[in-house]
Amino acid sequence: MNRIVRVGLVQHAMGPDLEENRQASLDGLAQAASDGADLILLPELHASEYFCKYQDPALFELAETLDGPTRHALTDAARHHGVVVVGSIFEKRAPGLAHNTALVIDSDGSLAGTYRKMHIPDDPGYNEKFYFTPGDLGFVPIQTAIGRLGVLVCWDQWYPEAARLMAMAGAEILLYPTAIGKDPDDNEDEQLRQLDAWRTIQRGHAVANGLPVLACNRVGFEPDRSGGGHDAEFWGHSFIAGPQGEIIDEAGTESEVLVADIDLARGEQVRRIWPFLRDRRIDAYADLLKRWRD
């Protein structure tokens, strides 16, 4: 028994005009839907440029509520095309309290659920701890018409703990809206190692949990508008992997809509031959809740 779902990833570039960005997302959604996608994933924070290159209190103006313009644009598109949409917003929760939040819109246009990014990075050019309060919703999959989605966001993708917790709560796919690029100061070898590390660890989550993985990244050059020199060049390479970590399809470094079929029933077959969940040594994992074992 197969359970085929056609998934679409809308990899695109963002500029300073929010309306143009939203239109690029909607155009990509329409294309993926016309290619038959049932589930469509957008990049992280797709309504704007990646504003965390530097710290500026004025940039909190970019935040929108869960009931804001991006939610409404995605709701209309999901309902119109009859598809499940996973989007990403800079969420204004209260004055002085914002999150990096994924929205899951069901195929009837209802809000199936939200996920607030749990792991928040902070490094030169990626000042996320200034903008985003760490998520407080935990690692909870979101039920939709096509299945139970384990939505995580960007930096979460480096944490096997996050993928495992989603799998253990019944997620049937892992999805990562993301914004990651290369540091132009690194040499090409280092840039390639980073790209492959990013792909490898997420494919590893597929293997560890017997689940397909979707990662949708942005592309394009975005200047550091503060003049701080932290220009960003997002590397694209959005991909669709099966439950053994096998790459089913992968984008390049330009705007692209990637569409492929995945079989949600395949994961159970993989788990039967590789029953990792059976043998976890939960009696010996207590120190995973520590910061360090010293």
Residue of 222, 220, 238 lying closest to 230 (CA atoms): 222
Question: CA–CA separation, 238 vs 178, rounded Å?
Answer: 9
- Binding status of residue 118 toward a second copy by CB under 8 A: yes
Rounded to 5 degrees, φ, ψ at 91 are -90, 120
- The single-letter DSSP state of residue 225 is T
Residue 284 found at the interface with a second copy (CB under 8 A): yes
Stretch in the footprint of a second copy (CB under 8 A) among 18-26, 144-152, 164-172, 220-228: 164-172
Q: Is 139 in the site for a second copy (CB under 8 A)?
A: yes
Of 49, 53, 92, 117, which is the active-site residue? 117
Q: Does 224 interact with a second copy (rule: CB under 8 A)?
A: no
Q: Which two tokens stand for residue 294?
A: 């010293």
Q: Which of 92, 128, 154, 216 is catalytic?
A: 154
- 116 is an interface residue for a second copy by CB under 8 A: no
Backbone angles phi, psi at 19, to 5 degrees: -65, -40
Nearer to a second copy, 19 or 246 (CB): 246
CB of 11 to a second copy, least distance (A): 22
Q: Which residue has the tokens 């290619």?
A: 35
Give every strand in the sheet of 232-235, ordered side by side. Answer: 181-182, 232-235, 219-222
Name the minimum Å distance from CB 151 to a second copy.
15
CA 121, CA 134: separation in Å to the nearest integer?
A: 10
CA–CA gap between residue 61 and residue 286 (Å, rounded): 42
Among 19, 61, 196, 254, binds a second copy (CB under 8 A): 196
Residues taking part in catalysis: 44, 117, 154
Contact set with a second copy (CB under 8 A)? 118-121, 123, 134, 138-139, 155, 158-162, 164-165, 168-170, 193-194, 196-197, 200-201, 203-205, 207-208, 242, 244-246, 273-277, 279-282, 284-294
